[in-house]
Each structure stands twice: as structure tokens, then as C-alpha cells.
Amino acid sequence: MPTPSHTPDRTALWRLLAGTGVALLFLGVVLSAARVAPVGARAALVVAGAAIMVLALVANRSAVAAFSRRRATRRGADTVLATLFFVAILVVIQATSVRRSHQFDLTRNQRNTLAPQSVALLDSLDHDVTATGFYRQSSLNRSRADELLSLYARASSRFRYEFIDPDRNPDAAERAGATVDEVVIECNGVVRRIHTLTEQDVTNAILQVTRVREKVLYFVNGHGERDVDGSPREGYRAATRALTGQGYAVRTLSLLTMREVPADCDVLVIAGPREDYLADEVTAIDRYLRAGGSALFMLDPRFDFTRLAGALDRYRLRVLDAVILDDLVLDAGERTFDATVAKVRRYEKHPITEGFNYVTMFTRARPVYIPEDTLRAGLDVQYLAITDAEAWGETDMNSFTVGRATRDGVDIAGPMPLAAVATRTPVPAGSARTSRVVLVGDSDFASNSFYGVLGNADFFQNIVAFLSEDEDLIRIRPRAATGDTVYISAAQGRMVFAVSLVLVPLITLIVGASVVFRRRAL
């Protein structure tokens, strides 16, 4: 007869309590891992489950001791300990990977890796930046946003992001003034909103909210320059919209009335004038540059800029009286790039052209020139873009105008530079700001007609970023998917099905059954 302490009723109660404790402990661990319940409730389940298990074991310690002396129990204990040891190793690996994770991007064009410009910007952050995405819980756009923003969060501890469902939490969306499928980037109270989520959008927004002040570009007018708001083919609306989207303020300036370049001017842009500037205007530009200003000169052929060229001569930059023609004719389907369009594939090493591997198109451009005697204290001048050898500079403007230009001995042989950059550092150092000047022998490349052609937009924006000392804003070209999909035949599909869903489970079942029968035979 069993003793009172080991009656069948008490044994059943012990098993029930132990099972309840295990169930509560398991439920608490699962909820904690899934984070689907309040922290207090999850902790209470874990503590209650552990306490019930300990109570059941202590109250029935004699039965537990007798059970532990069995041979089968010892073997089972060895198996349990080995399993726990293996699980502990997995936990350590998982914890380490969470704290020190690294993602490997095996795509051919590295589209799941941030561009170097984005990484450099994140490394330079000295304030926390937060991104709040307002997406519905089941939205596909939310998943895409999470993939992109997680790259930023992994790259810098100063970048954090969260998602808010505007349907479940409309008050938060209303306080932020946000709409569905919108991301709000914030730093120190400065806010930027993004509707089309790309790496370039996020990086530019981060740069904008961390800037000390807004950068200002002044386009000079009054001499037939390009219209910054012009929608026809010759206008600059596309370019100025892109600049505005990057956080620049775009304004116009008449030096005839102002007589001075405004103090808040970060970049002075002279885009395709058709008349030379007056002496007072050139003097105002020269004063601005001597004080450490930056300017972009885009000067087309067939116009005389004798006085304006004086402001460039101090930087050893000159234009030649010729128009560049190119023997290479390209048929792009909807349009043809004829001999009047110079196709540029060669770029000299410079921050503007670093990593720049795109063809740019310049129509009716003129060559630029750097005199040989350029060795001046504090002056660094070099070419940026150079044509192919097939191009030449037509010096007979009359024959070009009537469409009878031919290559002859008086023309300029290719290759020819059509863009150059100069940086003047004050001597002695610290006496003034460093000035930057870029000269391009064409203003059409940034017009509405050519701005979106191949690498033209990238080249123009990179020039502006360099002149405004916003090298971090060098344009990030989106990485397109390159067809990483694997296509298999029907026979290959059946083979994959047979191996993964039949053969592997069958081998596992056979190995497991053999182990069980072998142990029973011992």
C-alpha cells in the first residue's frame, strides 16, 4: 500500500501542477519573444510558471529522487542537458548577432547597400535623426520602407525610425500633420516630409534637417539668360525643381539694379547669357568671388563675352571661339543626337566626377581652355569633361550657321575639354574664404530638353553640390533591379519538390526510426 505522501491522488496533483507550470512558463517565453502582450503580463506568466514548477518539485522531492535514479531517466537527462547546451549556444549566437549584426548584399548591383554618400553622411551625424513612417499595418509600402530605413539604422546609431498606422492612431498622424504613405524626417525641430521613398530622398532629407541653414542659389538675369521658371525646351524648370527638392532656395538676381551679389548667396549661376555684362556687373561678380564666393558659368558659343571673361581670367579659365561638332551620331529612337551634340564619356578625377560613369550630352557647346601659365599661389585648376577624339572645334561660325561646316586644317582637333573647375585658396591661409568656380561651354545640357538625358542631371547637380560645399549631396543614382530571378524548367521544379519535400523528410524519418529501434535493442 502506498504511503500517504505518495497516493495516486497526490501524484496526479503533482503532475498537474508541474504541467501547469511548464505551460505557463512556455507561454510567457513565447509572448516575450513575440512581444504581443504587456511586459508586466509576460513577466507574471514566467514567474508564476517557474514558481509552480519549483513548488511541485519540492512537494514531491522523494518521488522526483526515485524517478531520477532510473536508468532511462539518466539517459533522458543526458539528452535534455545536451539539448539545453545546444539551445544555449544558439541563444548566445542570436544575442551576439543582434548586437553585432552584419548584412551581406549578394545582389549584382548592390541595391541592398547604401551608397557611399549616404554612409558618409550618417557617419558625420552629431545629432539624433528620427524618421516616422505613416503606413497602414498591412501596406506593402510599409514593408519596402522598413527595408530601406533599416539600412540607415544599421549604419548609424544616431538614426532611428518607427511606424505609425494612421488608421489605428489617427491622433498621432494629425499631430504630425502627416498623410498616409508619408515619412517624416526630424532633427532638432527641423522637419522634412517624403512621399516617394528612395535612398536619394532619405539621404537628402537627412542632410536638409541637419543643415545649419538653407543654401541659396542666385540665377543672374537681364542678358538673355535661361528662364529658371521656363517650361519650354530652353527653360530651366526641371533643373530648378530638382534643386528645390534637394532643399536649395532658387532665386533670380539682376546685377543692374542690385549692384552687389547678396550676402546670403551660396552659388551664383550665369546660365547662357546672350549679351556681355557691363563693367559694373563684372566688378560685382569679381568682388563676390574674391570674398570667397562660388559661381557656375555656362557660356554658349557665338556670343562675345569680353568683359565677363575678365572675371574668369583670374582663375585661368577661358572659352574658345568655336563650336564643338561630333562625328558620332546616335539614334535614340524618339530623338537623334546629331553632329551638333557632343557626347562626353571622359572625365578627369575630381569630387564632381568621382564615381561618375555616365555619358553626358552637350549641344552646340564651345571648348574651354586653361592657359599653360596656371601655376599661381593658392590656385588649383583642372578640366572636368573632355570629348572623344572624333569631335572637333569648328571655328568658321558662318559656315556652321548655314549648315556647311566641315573639318579642315584651321579647326581645333579633338579631344577637347568643355568643362573646367578652379578653386582659389587665399594666401595667406585664413585671410578669406576659399572660392570655387566651374566653367561649362554650354548651357543647353541643363535645359528642360536635355536635363533628363543620360547623366546630364547628375552632372549638373554634382556641380551645384560642389560649389555649395554640399559634397554629401552629390546625386545618388537609384539602383535598378538587375534580374536576379532564377528561372527553372518544369523538370527542375519537380526535382526541387522531390528533394525538399520528399527526400529530405524521408531521410530524417529513417534516421530517427533507426535511432529509436537501436536504443530499444540496448
- Among 52-61, 117-126, 172-181, 483-492, where is mean pLDDT lowest? 483-492
Instruction: Give the count of beta carbons closer than 10 Å to the beta carbon of residue 151.
Output: 19
Q: How many CA atoms lie within 13 A of 18 on its CB side?
A: 14
Beta bridge partners of 161: 131
What distance separates the 2 farthest-apart alpha carbons in the chain?
125
Domains of the chain by start residue, with CATH:
4-99 (no CATH), 116-206 (3.40.30.10), 214-473 (3.40.50.880)
DSSP state of 471: G
Characterize the bridge pairing of strands 368-369 and 318-319.
antiparallel
| Residues 134 and 176 sit within 8 Å (Cβ to Cβ) | yes
Confidence at residue 362, expressed as pLDDT on a 0 to 100 scale: 95
- Alpha-carbon torsion angle 183, 185, 190, 192, nearest 10: -50
The rounded distance, in Å, linking the Cα atoms of 248 and 60 is: 77
| Residues 272 and 226 sit within 8 Å (Cβ to Cβ) | yes
Average pLDDT over residues 265-277: 95
pLDDT in tens, 280-327: 999 999 999 999 999 999 999 988 889 999 899 989 999 999 999 987
Q: How far is CA 34 from CA 101, 139, 172, 403, in A?
A: 20, 20, 25, 74
Confidence at residue 5, expressed as pLDDT on a 0 to 100 scale: 47
Instruction: Give the count of beta carbons closer than 10 Å to the beta carbon of residue 10.
Output: 16
* This prediction's pTM: 0.64
Grid cell listed for 439:
566653367
| Residues 453 and 359 sit within 8 Å (Cβ to Cβ) | no
Closest CA to 311 of 327, 295, 322, 324: 295
Q: Is the pLDDT of residue 10 over 90?
A: no
Grid cell listed for 360:
553626358
Give 251's pLDDT tier (boundaries 50, 70, 90): very high
Contact residues for 11 (Cβ-Cβ < 8 A; gap 6+): 60, 63
491-521 burial string, b = 16+ CB within 10 Å, else e? Answer: eeeeeeeeeeeeeeeeeeeeeeeeeeeeeee
Nearest 5°: the CA angle 432, 435, 439 is 165
Average pLDDT over residues 195-207: 84
Instruction: Report CA 270 to chain centroid distance, whole Å.
Output: 30
Closest CA to 307 of 337, 270, 253: 270
Average pLDDT over residues 490-495: 76
Percent of residues, the chain, with pLDDT higher than 70: 79
Greatest mean pLDDT among 199-208, 408-417, 460-469: 460-469
Instruction: Give the count of beta carbons closer than 10 Å to the beta carbon of residue 186.
Output: 17
Confidence at residue 348, expressed as pLDDT on a 0 to 100 scale: 94
The rounded distance, in Å, linking the Cα atoms of 443 and 446 is: 6
Grid cell listed for 471:
559634397
Confidence at residue 271, expressed as pLDDT on a 0 to 100 scale: 94
